Amino acid sequence: MLNKPVENFTAAATNETTVQLSDLAGQQVVLYFYPKDNTPGCTTESQDFRDMHDDFAAANTVIFGVSRDSMRTHENFKTKHDFPFELISDPEETLCQQFDVIKEKNTFGKKHFGIERSTFLIDKDGVLRGEWRKVKVAGHAAEVLIAAQELNNKN
């Protein structure tokens, strides 16, 4: 997938918006996939992206969080933490499948399928330029910001 065009997608997001990749041409896009709203790691990761939002914007980069949570849960999560970006609700796992982030997990000895914390950086022409899988939250948003800034400076 890296350095290949990302297939166009349309997805429902918070604030009654619809995100379509083709509409974002000319801007870089960060898609960060996370397991669940209002859980400690996911909250911290989202807050980190929130706190660096202005720096991402200065690097011509828009941010979207993606999980399988409902739109109602997303709206509450976004409001509670004052996220300045939209959250994409993907209950059918369409976007999750496109980016291959659904993985078998083992939680307290029980196997199940869920989102593997992953982030993708798409350039202004719709080409995948950055991919982080099995993300550890600490320092992750800053690492993605550096990549977005470097990519923006090349263009």
Q: Catalytic residue, from 11, 19, 42, 121: name it.
A: 42
* Burial class of residue 117, CB neighbours in 10 A (0-12, 13-18, 19+): buried
Catalytic site residue 96? no
Sign of the alpha-carbon dihedral angle for 32, 37, 39, 43:
positive
3-state secondary structure (DSSP) of residue 85: coil
Amino acid letter for position 111 = K
- Give the phi and the psi of residue 154 in degrees, each rounded to 5: -75, -25
Which residues carry out catalysis? Answer: 42
